Amino acid sequence: MTSTPLHIAGLPPTGALIDGRWVDDGPRFTVDDKFSGRPVAEVAAATRAQVSEAVRVTRAAADAGAPPPHDRAQVLRRAAALMGSYRLRLVDVMVAEAGFTLVDAGNEVDRAMVTLSLSADEALRLVGDVVPFGASPGAHRRIGFTQRFPVGVVCAITPFNSPLNTVLHKVAPAYAAGNAVVLKPSAFTPLTSALLAQLLLEAGMPPAFLAVLQGEGDSVGAWLLEEQDIAFYTFTGSTRVGRIIQQAAGLRRTQMELGSIASTIVCADADLDRAIPKIANAGLRKAGQVCTSVQRLYVHRSIAEEVGQRLAAFAQTLQAGDPRDPATKVGPLISEASAIRAESWLREAEQGGARLLCGGQRRRSVITPAVVTHAPDDGRVWCQEAFAPLLALRPFEDFEEAIRDANSTPFGLSAGIFTQDIDRALRAAATLRFGTVQINESSSARSDVMPFGGVKDSGFGKEGPAHAIREMTEERLVVFNP
Which listed residue (97, 227, 267, 291) is catalytic? 291
**Amino acid identity, residue 251?**
L
Does 291 qualify as catalytic in the annotation? yes
- Catalytic pick from 122, 257, 336, 463? 257
Separation in Å, CA 80 to CA 84, 85, 89, 423:
8, 10, 15, 42
List Cβ<8 Å contacts ≥24 apart for 92-96.
92/8, 92/9, 92/10, 93/8, 93/11, 93/12, 93/191, 93/192, 93/195, 94/163, 94/164, 94/189, 94/192, 95/323, 95/324, 95/331, 96/6, 96/8, 96/31, 96/33, 96/34, 96/40, 96/191
The Cα–Cα gap between 182 and 69 comes to 20
Closest CA to 151 of 73, 226, 20, 249: 249
Return the SS3 of 473. Answer: strand
> In the chain, how many H helices and how many E strands?
14, 24
313 CA to centre of own chain:
29
The span from the CA of 252 to the CA of 238, in Å, is: 20
- CA dist list (Å): 79 to 14, 72, 205, 319, 417: 21, 11, 9, 34, 37
Q: How far apart are CA 285 and CA 369, in angstroms?
A: 9
232 forms bridges with which residues in the sheet?
154, 253
Q: Measure the N-to-C terminal CA separation of the chain; round to a whole number of Å.
A: 78
Partnered with residue 23 across adjacent β-strands are 16
Contact between 435 and 452 (Cβ < 8 Å)? yes
Could you give the C-alpha distances from 97 to 186, 205, 219, 323, in angstroms and in order?
A: 11, 26, 21, 11
As a whole number of angstroms, the distance between CA 31 and CA 16 comes to 15
Cα gap 390→469, rounded to integer Å: 35
- Decide: 179 and 62 in contact? Cβ < 8 Å: yes
Catalytic residues: 257, 291
